Structure 1
Amino acid sequence: MVSSEDVGQLVIVVVGALVFAAIGIVLFVILPSTLAQLLGVVLALGTALVGMRLAGNVARSIFPGYDVAEVAVEGPIARDGGGGRFPSTPGTTPADDIVEQIDRANDDDNAQALLLKLNTPGGEVVPSDDIRLAAMRFDGPTIAYATDVCASGGYWIASGCDELWAREGSIVGSIGVIGSRINASDFAEKVGLSYERFAAGEYKDAGTALKEIDEDERAYLQGLIDDYYDTFIERVSDGRDLEPEFIRDTEARIYLGEQAFDLDLVDRLGTRRDIEGELADRLDVDEVSVEKFEPKRPLMARVGAGAQTVAYAFGAGIAGFADERGFRLRS
C-alpha cells in the first residue's frame, strides 16, 4: 500500500529533478556557445542528478516516512568511544554521541518510539548512566534489544527502557563491579626504582602501582567498589522491578537469553521482526518504519575503527571510575 508520505516524497523528487534539469539546460545548452553546447547535455544531466538528490533530502525532511528511531550502543562504553583508556572497536560510538542521538530522536515529532540496540560488554559507569537517563527521557515506548551481548554497562542502560528483549543465545547479565590495579613494586625494586611520596591527603595516592597497598587503602578502594555496586543494584532494581537481594544473588553471573528470560532478567525473547511487530501494535499501525539515528563520523575515524578489534571476557563490564593514580573500576 502506497502511503501519503511516499507520494509526497515522489512528487518533490520529480518536481526538483525537472526544475534543476531546466536550469541545467538554460545554463549549459541554451546560453553558452560552441564548447558549452557540446558538453551541455552532459552537464544538464549532471545538474538534474544533483537536483534529484537535493530534492530527495528535502522530501525526506518533509515526509520522513518513519515512526521508530533506532540508536545502537555497540562495543565498550566510554565517554570518548574508546579513544582513551579503551581501544575502539568497529561500531563503537562515544557515549555523548549516543546521548545526542537519543535526544535528537526525542525532539523529532516523527519518532514515536525508541529502539535501543545493545551489543556491548559494558564500559564506564557515568557514561553508561548518561545513556540510561537519555533513554528514560524519551517521550514514548522504549525497547532495549540485546543482540549478541548485553552485559554489565549494557544491562545498566537497559534498566532505563520500558522493556528488554533478547535472543535465546544472547549473553545477558554481569551485574557487578570490578576494580583492578597493577602492583609493580617488586619489579620496580628489581630495576632499581623506588617510590617517594609527595601528597596532601592520606588517600591521594591510594592504588599507586609503584608501592605496596596497605590495609587501610585496600578497605578504602573496596568501599568505592561497594558503593558503585550498591548504585548498580539500585538502578536495576528500580528500572527492572527486581528485588535487590535477587540481583545480589546473581553474583554478577552471565546468562544466555533463554535462562535470563526464565529469571525475569529479560522481558521477551524474539527477533528484530518480532520487536517491530510489537511496536506496530503499540503505535496502532500496520507496520513500523525504522530510521537509524547515527552520529556523523569523519572518514578517517571510520577507517580507524574498522581496522581495530578488541577482545573482552564474558564478565568484563562497567569499567568506569579510575583515579589519576591508576586505580581502575569496572563492572
Structure 2
Amino acid sequence: MASGRSSNGGGRGQRLAIVFGGTVLTVVVAWWLFLDYANTLAEVVGILFVLLAGVMGARAAARFAAQRFPSYDVAEVAVEGPIRRDGGGGGFPSRGGTPADDIVEQIDRANDDTNANGLLLRLNTPGGEVVPSEDIRLAAERFDGPTIAYATDTCASGGYWIASGCDELFARDASIVGSIGVIGSRVNASELADRVGLSYERLAAGRYKDAGVPLKELDGDERNYLQGIIDGLYDDFVERVVAGRDLDPETVRETEARVYLGEEARELGLVDEIGTREDVEARLAERLGVSEVSVQEFEPTPPLRRRLNLGARDIAYSFGAGVASVLGDETGDANGFEFRVR
C-alpha cells in the first residue's frame, strides 16, 4: 500500500471544518457588506442577502472540501457490456458497452488518487476483443492496493480475462462465469456474391494477406493459419488465468470454454467467494484494516465532441451494420476476420 494514501476518518473532520469555516466567513463578510451601512428598510433586504450568501458560501465550501478531502476510500469501476476498443461496433460507440480505453483511464485515475486505497471492479460482460480485455486486466493488476472483481450477471470470456488480474473474484449464486476460450469469426459471402454477380479479384502481396476475406472461400492452408492464431491467443488466455487464479493449466483447459453458475464456479476454483455487494465491501474493509469502506464510482468523462456526435453515430452505425457484415469491415479486423474471447 502506498504510504501517501490518506485516512478516510481524518478527511471527514477536515471537510466539516472547512464547511463550517467557509460558512461563518461568508456570513461575516455578507453582514459587513449588507448591514453595517444599511437603513431600516435595507436591513430587511440585507438579512435576506446574508442568509442567501451563507447558503451559497456553505455550498462552495462543501464543494471545495469534497475535492480537497474526498469521503471515499475505495474506487469502483464498471465494465458493462461487450469489451471493445471503442465500446461499440464498426468504430462507433454503443449504448451496450464502455470503451476499453475509458475503463483503463478510470482505473489509472483511481490509482493516482491518494484517497482510493482499494479497487472494486464490477463486471457484467459477455466478453469481447482480446487486446482491450488485456489492457483492462493490466490496469487492474498495476493498481496499488487490494483489488476485488465482482461479477454481477455475467463474467464470461474477456470479462474473466480481466478478473484474472484482480486479487479476488466474488460472484452471485446465479452469476454466469467462465467461457475461457477464443473464437474467430468471418462471414462467408462467396455464394451470395455469385448470385448477385460479384466476383473477387485478388491483388495482394503475401500468401496470407487476404486470408479470411468474406468474398472468397478459405482453403486448407488459410484455415490452418487462422486456427493457429486462435490457438495462440487461447494459450495466452490460459496462461493468464493460471497465473492470476493460481489454477492448474489442465483444470483450466478441461473447462472447454464452458460457463458455470456461481456456486459451481466456486467449487472449481474459478471464483473465490459467493456473496453480495455488501460482502464485497466487507472484504475490502477487512483488507484495508478499517471497520467499513466508502465507495466512489469513477466514471468516464467523454470529450464534448464525442458526446455531441454519439446519437448521430449510433444511427449511422445501425443503418450500415448489415451492409458491413456482408461486404467486410476493414476498420479494425484483419481482412474482415475477427478474434474475440467469449
**Counterpart in 1 of 2:245?**
240
Q: Offset at 1:213?
A: 1.3
Instruction: Work out whether 1:15 is the aligned partner of 2:21.
Output: yes
**Counterpart in 1 of 2:336?**
326
Question: Match for 1:215: what amino acid?
Answer: G
TM-score after normalising by structure 1: 0.84
Q: Offset at 1:27?
A: 7.0
SS of equivalent to 1:144: strand
Question: Match for 1:210: what amino acid?
Answer: L
Q: Offset at 1:6?
A: 2.7
Instruction: Work out whether 1:209 is the aligned partner of 2:219.
Output: no
Q: Distance in 2 between matches of 1:149 and 1:117?
A: 10
Q: Offset at 1:71?
A: 1.1
Q: Distance in 2 between matches of 1:295 and 1:268?
A: 29
Q: Distance in 2 between matches of 1:297 and 1:47?
A: 34
Instruction: Work out whether 1:219 is the aligned partner of 2:229.
Output: no
Q: Distance in 1 between matches of 2:57 and 2:180?
A: 52
Query: Does structure 2 retain, via aligned residues, the 8 Å contact 1:67–1:288?
Result: yes
* Worse-matched range after superposition: 279-288 or 60-69: 60-69
Instruction: Work out whether 1:228 is the aligned partner of 2:238.
Output: no
Structure 2 CA distance for partners of 1:276 and 1:188, relative to 1, 3 Å: same
Structure 2 CA distance for partners of 1:37 and 1:179, relative to 1, 3 Å: farther
Unaligned runs of 5+ in 2: 1-7, 319-330
1:177 paired residue among 162, 173, 182: 182
2:203 paired residue among 198, 202, 212: 198
Q: Distance in 2 between matches of 1:264 and 1:57?
A: 45
List aligned pairs for 1:111-126, cutoff 5 A. 111-126=116-131
SS of equivalent to 2:238: helix
Q: Distance in 2 between matches of 1:31 and 1:297?
A: 50
Query: Does structure 1 retain, via aligned residues, the 8 Å contact 2:81–2:125?
Result: yes
SS of equivalent to 1:183: coil
The alignment's C-alpha RMSD in Å is 3.2
Question: Match for 2:203: what amino acid?
Answer: F
**Counterpart in 2 of 1:292?**
297
TM-score after normalising by structure 2: 0.82
* Worse-matched range after superposition: 180-189 or 16-25: 16-25
Q: Distance in 1 between matches of 2:184 and 2:85?
A: 18
Instruction: Work out whether 1:81 is the aligned partner of 2:91.
Output: no
**Counterpart in 2 of 1:63?**
69
Q: Offset at 1:5?
A: 3.0
Q: Distance in 2 between matches of 1:19 and 1:256?
A: 58
Deviations 1:126-164 (A, max 9, x none): 111011111111111111110111000010000001111
Structure 2 CA distance for partners of 1:63 and 1:103, relative to 1, 3 Å: same
Structure 2 CA distance for partners of 1:28 and 1:218, relative to 1, 3 Å: farther
Q: Offset at 1:185?
A: 0.9
Q: Distance in 2 between matches of 1:47 and 1:189?
A: 77
Q: Offset at 1:65?
A: 2.4
Q: Offset at 1:63?
A: 2.2
Deviations 1:256-307 (A, max 9, x none): 00110011100111111111112212222111111212122468849859x9
Q: Offset at 1:89?
A: 2.9
Query: Does structure 2 retain, via aligned residues, the 8 Å contact 1:166–1:266?
Result: yes
* Worse-matched range after superposition: 171-180 or 79-88: 79-88
Q: Distance in 1 between matches of 2:93 and 2:121?
A: 23
Q: Distance in 2 between matches of 1:130 and 1:143?
A: 17
1:97 paired residue among 97, 102, 127: 102
List aligned pairs for 1:245-264, cutoff 5 A. 245-264=250-269
Instruction: Work out whether 1:266 is the aligned partner of 2:276.
Output: no
Structure 2 CA distance for partners of 1:212 and 1:14, relative to 1, 3 Å: same
2:111 paired residue among 106, 118, 121: 106
Q: When the two structures are aligned, how many residues end up with a matched partner? A: 315
Structure 2 CA distance for partners of 1:27 and 1:183, relative to 1, 3 Å: farther
List aligned pairs for 1:44-55, cutoff 5 A. 48-55=54-61
Structure 2 CA distance for partners of 1:20 and 1:322, relative to 1, 3 Å: same
Structure 2 CA distance for partners of 1:15 and 1:245, relative to 1, 3 Å: same
**Counterpart in 1 of 2:283?**
278
Question: Match for 1:327: what amino acid?
Answer: F
Q: Offset at 1:47?
A: 5.1
* Worse-matched range after superposition: 115-124 or 275-284: 275-284
